[in-house]
Amino acid sequence: MELTGVAKRYPGGVEALRGVDLVIGRGEMTAIVGPSGSGKSTLLHMIGTLDRPSEGSVRIAGYEVAELSDRELSALRARHVGFVFQQFHLAVGVSALDNVADGILYGGAGLRERRERARAALERVGLGHRTGHRPNQMSGGEQQRVAVARAVVGEPDLLLADEPTGNLDTASGAEVLELLDDLHGTGTTVAIITHDLDVAGRAPRRVRVRDGLIEGAGIR
Ligand SMILES: Nc1ncnc2c1ncn2[C@@H]1O[C@H](COP(=O)(O)OP(=O)(O)OP(=O)(O)O)[C@@H](O)[C@H]1O
Task: Please report, for the domain that includes residue 85, its CATH number.
Answer: 3.40.50.300
| Total number of domains in the chain | 1
Strand 63-64 and strand 55-60: the pairing is antiparallel
Q: pLDDT tens digit string along 27-43?
A: 999 999 999 999 999 99
**Which of 8, 17, 32, 41 for a ligand 1 pocket mutation test, highest count of atoms within 8 Å of Cβ?**
41
Q: Is 88 helix (H, G, I), strand (E, B) or coil?
A: coil
Q: Which domain holds residue 64?
A: 2-219
Cβ neighbour number for residue 191 with a 10 Å cutoff:
25
Query: Measured in angstroms, how far is the CA atom of residue 17 from the centroid of ligand 1?
Result: 9
User: Looking at this predicted complex, what is its ipTM?
Assistant: 0.94
| Rounded average pLDDT over 62-74 | 94
Ligand 1 pocket, residues with Cβ under 6 angstroms: 10, 12, 14, 16, 34, 36-42, 195
pLDDT at 219 over 50: no
- Integer angstrom CA distances of residue 57 from 39, 153, 193, 219: 17, 28, 21, 23
Q: What is the pLDDT of residue 217?
A: 58
Q: At CA 139, angle to CA 175 and CA 88, rounded to 5?
A: 75
- Integer angstrom CA distances of residue 34 from 49, 117, 193: 20, 36, 9
